[in-house]
A and B are shown apart, each in its own frame.
Chain A
Amino acid sequence: MNTQPYPIPENELERLAALKRYNILDTLPDNAFDDATKLVSYICGVPIAHISFIDASRQWFKSEIGIGVSEVPREISFCQYTIMETKMVEINDTFLNEQFKDDPNVTGGFKIRFYAGIPLTTPDGYNIGTLCAIDHETKELDENQRNALSIVAKHVINQLELRTKNIELAAQKKIADRAVLAKDSFLANMSHEIRTPLNAIIGFTDLLAQTKLDTVQHDYIDSVQIAGENLLLIINDILDLSKIESGNLTIESEPFNLKKTLKQVYKLLKVKVSNDIEFNLFLDADMPEHVIGDQGRLNQILVNLVGNALKFTEEGDVTVSVKMLEETEDYYSLKFSVKDTGIGIPEEKLKTIFERFTQAEESTTRRFGGTGLGLSIVKQLIELQHGELQVKSKVGRGSEFFFVLNYKKSDYIETKTEAAAGESLGKLRILLCEDNVLNQKLAKSVIHNFGFDLDIAENGEIGIELLSKKSYDVVLMDLQMPVKDGYQTTEYIRNEMKLTLPIIAMTAHSLIGEQERCYEAGMNAYVPKPFKQAMLLDAIKTALNPENIPTRRRKVDLSFIDETACGDQNFKKEIINLFIEKIPVDVANLKEAFSRDDYDAVKRLTHNMKSSLDMFMLADLSNCLSVIEAEALLERFTAMGEDEINTLESGIVDVVKYLIEVQ
């Protein structure tokens, strides 16, 4: 071994810092580098080639041919000298080279006779490693080979730069993703904070309006109601926009009565129309009654467009018309138009009115109010239904907004829906878990209207206590509560108390994913707040119908399988099939061994199964196995072990169901 202290570049500290920046040391093999190494070996016709990086103590090979080790100490490497140079080092015959002729890697070791090394120089000028061609025979490279080596070296550095940039990009993307997530949850929280009191305001105003009032009081209450509903609209607008942006807004496809919907919108808006405006609704004579589509969104679009038309029209008329353009075997094609004789929009503004927070005039907001979100949402809602919002307008003459939507045909026959009354359900006992006092009062009066009995728990803990003392028919569950929130409480009711009674989530959150989370926790239905009486009653009815009690859906995390399968779908399938075939049999064997008090067999089976369950990230079921295994080790099976086996068995049934579905 060379006992001479090895040469140190004068910028060694900066050089090491530069190397560290690339985060390349001790990384896994990489095709791009392996290809470059092969290229060097082909170009120079040598059996040994490598790309290496030199840190404080070692030469580490990112890629190598004919070396077979991943690193060597720096003091025995040839390349420690190469990084001192600015250009290629070529030693045609090491036996004739004073510095190397006695080197252990020349006389023995790698038996280096020919060496060509080119420093890998970063754009800021540091030699962090080398690209080398080595042979056991003497050799001389020609000019083309030398040029080719320099080019490959440049490519290697480019590759490194690219790699670093990609890592930086990925990190930035993560930050951006997190920011989006933070924004979403901020919106959800804000909407909760705003909607909870608003829910109470609208609800109580609703109840108050039903009491005996004089004309003046009626007038005041009407104003409060309108203001409350407007505020709710604005909050919903903001939420909608964030949902559209994050791709979380879905268009429903349900049968609905189109004519009735249009008439309702008309009636709703008619009350807001001043005397100077004539407000018309024109429907084509051959308009279909029933179609399949998203009623709520059509409502929202028309209310928005008509609302705008009324806002910007001082006198004249506002006309909503719907025309059937085409009828095919499967769908109707309908043109919706909202036309006014208002102030109109200047031509140069026609493009920007669909952008959010933009109105035709800066001063518009001051004069006419609004968030400037409406048109942007309407445009996107129409696009989500594969239509396009168009506009024609002339200043001083008025505007027309129109769009074409296709609705699928429906063979739906309307059945008369029951009035919102609870008599048919008898006297239900209902438990409400809700911390907000105003909401408690509101729910109380609504539920008393139905004629049900109600107990109130102000958090999940108290709810559980009540449930353990008294039997109920339904639980209404707020999601955000102190002490124990709605999810935790539901999980406790389902998993610990093993109760199957219907649990209905009530929440002011309205982000997608939340509903799913509710079902996953074991809830049966979901009512968004602020709730309407009829909606709550509907949810209670549906939840009480035994056919509608959903089995808890389990999701299986397949990330481990994906990782080991390295993207090979067939192999993933094979492993999943193996699980489906094997684990239920294991469970049956375990059950049988347990009943025979065969401790050894139970130990063996639980141990073996645990590895399988861990691979499918089934921590809860793996836990069951641990409990059973512990009992087997103590050689005493108890009722607890039996419970765990039953939980395991039904859990595996769910898992297998899920796995079969995803196949």
Chain B
Amino acid sequence: MRIVLAEDNDILRKSLSFFLESKGYEVDQFSDGKEALEAIETNNYDLVLTDINMPGSSGMEITQYIRQRIQSDIPVIILTSSGVEQTELDSFDIGANEFIAKPVSPAVLLVRINKLLGIRI
């Protein structure tokens, strides 16, 4: 299973990808939203995990692009430190499958990912 992880905080990105890799996933990491988007267009991923605020493209833009331009139903999980309810509503509105507030619990993240990948049959 291949996962895109877009997160501009180095420490968090490295930790999460190490965690997911040790759970058996293949993780492509990006600190820039635009680069993540290009990778999503050219490769075949099973899931997208993205922060909202990033240089390049935001997580919202990435989600919108996946759903509207590429017309893909790949599962998208949005991570954010914003505690604003509207952000969560907006995320689902534009087609994200999950919304996880930071700090992200690795165990919870893993369960959500597994659940989403299980749904895709």
Interface residues of A (CB under 8 A from B): 26, 28-29, 69-72, 560-561, 563-566, 568, 571, 574-575, 578-579, 582, 607-608, 610-612, 614-615, 617
Contact = CB atoms under 8 A, between A and B. Distances in A.
20 contacts: A26-B111, A28-B111, A69-B118, A69-B121, A70-B121, A561-B15, A563-B106, A564-B19, A565-B15, A565-B18, A565-B19, A566-B22, A574-B14, A575-B14, A582-B10, A607-B53, A611-B7, A611-B11, A612-B11, A612-B12
B14 A615 contact: no
A563 B12 CA distance: 13
B18 A560 contact: no
Given A70-B117, A563-B106, A563-B107, A611 B12 contact: yes
Contacts of A563: 19, 105-107
Nearest to A616: B11
Main secondary structure of the interface of A (DSSP, over half): helix
Interface in B64-121: 81, 102-103, 105-107, 110-111, 114-115, 117-118, 121
Contact of B103 (A28, A579, A614): A614
Interface in B1-56: 7-12, 14-16, 18-19, 22-24, 51, 53
A571 B19 CA distance: 10
B98 to A, nearest CB: 15
Contact of B19 (A566, A612, A617): A566
Given A578-B11, A611-B9, A611-B51, 7 more contacts: A26-B111, A560-B15, A565-B18, A565-B19, A571-B18, A578-B10, A615-B15
A560 B12 CA distance: 11
Interface of B: 7-12, 14-16, 18-19, 22-24, 51, 53, 81, 102-103, 105-107, 110-111, 114-115, 117-118, 121
Given A565-B18, A610-B81, A29 B24 contact: yes
A574 B11 CA distance: 10
Contacts of A607: 53, 81
Contacts of B14: 574-575, 578
Nearest to B53: A607
B11 A71 contact: no
* 3 closest Cβ pairs, A-B complex: A70-B118, A614-B103, A564-B19
A29 B106 CA distance: 15
Given A614-B81, A615-B103, A71 B118 contact: yes
A58 to B, nearest CB: 10
Nearest to B120: A69
B32 to A, nearest CB: 13
B9 A575 contact: no
Contacts of B15: 560-561, 564-565, 575, 615
A568 B11 CA distance: 16
A28 B18 CA distance: 17
Contact of A560 (B9, B10, B103, B117): B103
A70 B102 contact: no
Contacts of B10: 578, 582
A579 B14 CA distance: 12
A614 B51 CA distance: 15
A66 B106 CA distance: 27
Nearest to B117: A70
A560 B10 CA distance: 15
Contact of A615 (B8, B11, B24, B111): B11
Given A579-B11, A608-B9, A72 B121 contact: yes
B11 A564 contact: no
Contacts of B114: 28, 70
A335 to B, nearest CB: 56
A615 B19 contact: no
A608 B8 contact: yes
A221 to B, nearest CB: 62
Contacts of B16: 564
Nearest to A560: B103
A332 B60 CA distance: 74
Contacts of A571: 18
Contacts of B11: 575, 578-579, 582, 611-612, 615
B107 to A, nearest CB: 7
